[in-house]
Amino acid sequence: MTAVALLNWRSADHYDSTGDKPCVICTKPTPLRSDRGKPVHKVCAEEWIDQHTRKENDE
C-alpha cells in the first residue's frame, strides 16, 4: 500500500478570486494557489509531492 500526500487547503489563502491562471504542472486553468502563490491544482500538487519525495528504499 502506498501513502499519498494529502494537502489541507481549506484556508481561503489557497483561492485567488482575481481569476484562473495555468497550473504550473498540468497547464489547465485553476483559481487555486500553492503556499508560495503559484497556480496549481491541489491534486497536481499532491501527485508531484508523491513523485518527488524520497521513500525509505530510495538511495
Q: Cα dist. 3→10, 14, 20 in Å?
A: 21, 23, 30
Provide φ and ψ at 8, rounded to 5°: -100, 100
SS3 string of 23-58? CCCCCCEECEECCCCCECCHHHHHHHHHHHCCCCCC
With a cut of 70, say whether residue 58 has pLDDT above it: no
Q: Is residue 18 part of a domain?
A: yes
pLDDT of residue 59: 59
On whether residue 40 sits in a domain, the answer given is yes
Model confidence pLDDT, tens digit, residues 2-52: 566 788 989 999 999 999 999 999 999 999 999 999 999 999 999 999 998
Rounded-to-integer distance, Cα 26 and Cα 2, Å: 23
pLDDT at 41: 97
In a domain, 45, yes or no: yes
Residue 24 domain-assigned? yes
CA distance 14 to 1: 30
